[in-house]
Structure 1
Amino acid sequence: MSFQRTRMSADRTLMSVIRTSLSLISFGFTIFQLFLKLAQAKVLEEGSGAARGFGVSLVLLGIAMLVGGIGFHLAFMRGLRKERREMAAEGLIHAQSAFPVSLTLIVALAMLLIGLFAIGDMVAGFGPVA
């Protein structure tokens, strides 16, 4: 049972990374879009790129945080599986339970894809036309 608790703890850690990176990505994208729409409506001068740059920076920070969290999660789970195999080979644990792919990891990868699409729209301008 301790392996399952440790695995769930790793999932909770990844969920907190997802939550923080989601906040950064959505807040950065919102700032970028707000200042882009204000510039298009001629409310702001075209030279106000600092706020838009800040929005891009927040999205990039969210993506980097998500990549780091996914990498840490994969390395941790690989080590946990290795330790479990070693303990089973030594006869220290007897019960075999499933060690399925983490649903949290799948959500993190989907979130990473969304973040990459967001930064692609912000920097290169591809995406749905509004």
Structure 2
Amino acid sequence: MSLSNELAKERSRAAAERTLMAWIRTSLSLITFGFGIDRIVSALYAGIDNKSDPQSISRNVGLCFIAIGTLALLSAAFNHHQDLRRINRGDFTYSSRLSLSFVVAIALILVGLFAFVGILL
């Protein structure tokens, strides 16, 4: 074990920590946004008897954001744990894997389409 190898491991661990913290911020934003959508629309339509029910649409969209945020956080924690295990083993070979950012982007596109169609109809 040389000092340069140990310092490289520490830099890799610090980078993995920063990545996890970024995912925590992103997930928290998604969860908060989902909660906010539901609460704001519920407050706006409180006491209004309307045939169209924007509350159910906003509730479903809000729940989707909360679910995406929670699943992204769970997946980020799992990926972080795997990265730390790889660093400890010294396994630095590149392995292709599905990007968490891409999965979250696709999920948000689907929620956006769902919201668009729900509001349009």
TM-score, reference length from structure 1: 0.58
**Among candidates 64, 71, 92, match of residue 64 of structure 1:** 71
Distance 1:11 1:44 in 2: 48
**Among candidates 27, 30, 51, match of residue 21 of structure 1:** 27
Matches within 5 A, 1:1-130: 1-42=7-48, 47-48=53-54, 49-83=56-90
Structure 1: stretches of 5+ with no match in the other structure = 85-130
Residue 7 of structure 1 contacts residue 77 of structure 1 at CA under 8 Å; is this kept in 2?
A: yes
Query: What root-mean-square deviation, in Å, do the aligned CA atoms of Structure 1 and Structure 2 show?
Result: 2.0
Q: What amino acid does structure 2 have at the position aligned with 1:17?
A: W
Summarize the Cα distance change of 1:33–1:45 in structure 2 as closer, same or farther, 3 Å threshold: farther
TM-score, reference length from structure 2: 0.62
Structure 2: stretches of 5+ with no match in the other structure = 1-6, 92-121
Report Cα offsets for 1:42-83 as digits up to 9, x if no partner: 276672211221111111000011011001000111111122
Report Cα offsets for 1:23-42 as digits up to 9, x if no partner: 10101100011122233332
1:40 is paired with a residue whose SS is: coil
Summarize the Cα distance change of 1:41–1:75 in structure 2 as closer, same or farther, 3 Å threshold: same
Distance 1:19 1:76 in 2: 19
Summarize the Cα distance change of 1:45–1:26 in structure 2 as closer, same or farther, 3 Å threshold: farther
Counting matched residue pairs gives: 84
2:53 is paired with a residue whose SS is: coil
Quick one: percent identity of the two aligned structures?
31
Summarize the Cα distance change of 1:54–1:83 in structure 2 as closer, same or farther, 3 Å threshold: same
Distance 2:79 2:59 in 1: 30
List 4+ stretches of structure 1 deviating above 3 A.
43-46
